[in-house]
Amino acid sequence: MSSAPARVVPPTRPTPRQPRRHPLLHPVAKPVLFVLCLLPLAWYAYGVVTFQLGANPAEAVIRGLGDWTLRLLWVTLAITPLRQWTGQPALARFRRMVGVFTFFYATLHLVAYAFLDMSLDLPEIAKDIAKRPFILMGFAAWLMLVPLAATSFNRAIKALGAKRWQWLHKLVYAIAIVGLMHFIWMRAGKNNFAEPAVYGAILAVLLGWRVWKRLR
């Protein structure tokens, strides 16, 4: 009596190795950026509570929030050039969040000025805006940021259409120029032009690169 042939077990195929996820595409990348963008606000809140903002904490808060508005606006403008210079297209997914945080800090800057500097006296605020050019420039920049923040979600893009949405968001270039004028005129009162010159040089590079790309 012959025995049954032994079953031949096919060799197991090695499980294909999953490609490593790019750090910029990792699910925690956006939450990390969110927390990082909140750190300046956390620092000023801590400074107020612990009395670490100097002799004039109100001025430190107002100016600090304004500084971070400009920094985040410059980062927003820098994302596209950095994406192309470094060959990292994933950077584009962070631009909207940084732009919204720019509006967030600009609004806090305006609210801090209205409460801490003007005691929310609306007639006096209106007079101050009309009287002092650097405040007028800052308020104009904030007004231009409003429609950009209001259309920063996908449904707004669909409602406006991609082309009109893109044209609307080109306002960011005018906002950057007006915001820089606000900063320069504010520092002109103390003849302090060193820091505005640095911001101006960076903006010149960011906008000049775009002009060069368009002319090409």
Joined together, the tokens standing for residue 51 give 């009395």
Give the Cα separation of 182 and 175 in Å (integer). Answer: 10
pLDDT at 24: 83
Give the Cα separation of 69 and 98 in Å (integer). Answer: 10
Residues 49-92 have pLDDT tens digits of 999 998 899 999 999 999 999 999 999 999 999 999 998 999 99
Question: What are the extents of the domains in the chain?
Answer: 27-215
Residue 10 has pLDDT above 80, yes or no: no
37 CB-near residues (< 8 Å, 6+ apart): 72, 97, 98, 101
Residues 132-178 have pLDDT tens digits of 999 999 999 999 999 999 999 889 888 999 899 999 999 999 999 99
CA angle 162/91/99 to nearest 5° reads: 60
95 neighbors 80 (Cβ within 8 angstroms): yes
Tell me the Cα Rg of the chain: 25
